[in-house]
Structure 1
Amino acid sequence: MTLARRSLTVVGAAAALGLALTGCVAKADVAAAGRLTVSSTADACTVSAHTATSGTLAFDVTNKGAEVTEFYLLAQDGVRIVGEVENVAPGASRTLTVVAQPGEYFTVCKPGMIGDGVGRTGFSVSGDKVAVKGGDAAQKTKAVALYAAFVKDQVGQLLPAAKTFAQAYRTGDDATAKAQFSVVRSYYERIEPVADKLGTLDPRLDYRELDAKAEGLDWTGFHRIEKDLWVPAAGALNSDGATPADKDWSPSTSAERGAYADRLVADLQELYGHVHADAFLKDLEAQGVAGISNGAISLLDEVANGKITGEEDWWSGTDLSDFAANVEGSKMSFSLVRDFADSKGAEGRKLVSQIDRGFSALEAELAVHGSLDAGFAPYSTVTAPQKRDLTDLLNALAEPLSKLTGTILSR
């Protein structure tokens, strides 16, 4: 199982954890019992202990491998990042210091700073909840840094997974490519607000056929490959319900498949380069926590505008997987800013409670149809009443979530 493919019920359970943001903590604040050692190699991530008492913890990470590495402390859902240290050169050591609240976590190392990582192991923190030091501005800076780390982690898993997917498609191994399609897309769907801001990159990667034609663009990316893998039946119509599926389209030749596969990988390599550049963090810092909050809102808009209608993955019917990944990305963003809303008095606490309940209800309804671990049912099997239920729950969450940014920025 990869770090990304888990049941949404686990994500819902993890929402109860009060995640402390990472930051610079004075060495004097780290008790001897709070210091742990981490040995990172090509195939292992060995932590000196798998339990700790809540409070300030320091993970002293030593890279004993041949590639630059990263170390992560992940929340119980395996997606949200509680703390990370990156760019640990071979033979070098760096320290990750976190204020860890009681709960269940995972530790993992990522040699080469790409892929799923190695040595993913459970880590338990017991004891009482502890106060987090640092002013509001400092905590907001840390929230932005954690969101940047989350995006880089998702893209770091996306790129190698997409290369494997693209190779299967290129060589005509359609069964393998079909099985990987929704998995690969889930990484992208969690961080889509980032790609949306990169000019033509998102259209190249994720435009549907009719959108590309409407703007006079070459149709490439995930959905061009999707249509090759799930060949439309004779007489099938596009998502507008009017345009014949075979109009100005024919299955790709071997050479064309190679070109589309190369283009997908190249565009994702460009995305990888962007999120690992200094300018990316500076852009996030300029947007601040409002940017994170607005990203949570926009991901639900993605669901409302495509997934809930079944238009997004028209040929594969894998819309529920995209739906779930969008919700996960939205919840990740919310988790980083919820404390700022919660601190705004009774109204802020009420709003946070409404959003928490909204996520839980939506996740529970999605779980009726499957999970990212086990796979979701084809969207064609979702009945009209079930779609209405999902729509109602989506709207019930979107309404309080739309107030999140304003609440955070209020005085």
Structure 2
Amino acid sequence: MCRSLRYCVSHCLHAAMTRLEEANREVNMHSSVRYLGYLARISLLVAICMGLYVRWEQTEDALILVIFILGLFILGIASILYYYFSMEAASLSLSNLWFGFLLGLLCFIDNSKFKYDVKEEATKYLLVSAISIRTMCALVERICGYVRHRPTLLKSGEFLELVGFSIASTVMLVQKSISIILLVTAFALIIIDLRMKSFLALPNLGTFTILTPLMFFPSLGIPVNAYALSCFFCCIISEPFLDVYFSGLSVTERWKPYLYRGRICRRFSVISVGLIEVLFFILAAFKLSDLNLWYFVIPGFSIFGIFWLICHIIFLITLWGFHTKLNDCHKVYYTHRSDNSLDRVMASKGMRHFCLISERLVFFSLLATAILGAVSWQVS
């Protein structure tokens, strides 16, 4: 009897200690991954500080020194908010905004006169190390299952970094600054596209990656620090890119932030899409005046323009009908919330069949846009 009791007690203690060791090992691993993320941030901070110091040292511009000191002061405030007042959201928001702004300054301040300086070379290595560590941290987090995927279009940290980068572009002329802001907006849409796992997400990312350094910045005629630019884009895009594979959210879960929006917001999105398409068509028409082969391009634009108009008018009507059916689904869902889920209501209303039918329409709309763009935007 005593032996049996002793055996049971020892077995329970052994099982408890084994479980405790596994838990400690898991906690230690999670802490290591978190420290890896801190290391990436520290590398980025040191790179930004060193880069701004080099620019101030070489140009003797007092404004750079003021921005540098102000940046350190604001990051100090963010640290105080985080560690002493437990205001984690405010601290991270402030730091993300300033990281984006300071990285933007590194990108747009000309470094051609001192790009072979030792401190500038060290800045480049630190930026590359920040990219590598940030990507490795994101990958390890997802492999170990430490990331809880939630339906979101754009995280607040990503949004604030993009805003900070856009603000930094105001050091240039207005026209070039607007171009940079539009580029950042396109990048934000690509992030959303990756999170939604659309079939054109990866091709869009590849096209953006190729055209931005080869065509966009050379057309603006501005010197850009390629290392700082790569660091900014890679650090933001790494998580959405990895989530294309690691995220296990269903289609409706990924689109939940949009599907559960109010009626006015969703209607406004349809109107915005229509306005963007009209703007594209107008710009394509104005672009015809810059071409030498107008006698060849104008007939092509007329033919494919009619095809484009037909496809996109039908597309907008279909999209409006989709939202009308979605509003009906919301009414049923909120009336019988305890009995149904929105997925089940949408299935009963034939939304899946409606979307499958609309796939070809979307394909022809994209094809018409590509053809019209190829006809209009040519080298003059």
TM-score of the alignment, normalized to the shorter chain, above 0.5? no
Normalising TM by the smaller chain, what interval?
Answer: under 0.3
Q: TM-score of the superposition, structure 2-length normalised? A: 0.28
Q: TM-score of the superposition, structure 1-length normalised? A: 0.26
Q: Which has the higher helix share?
A: 2
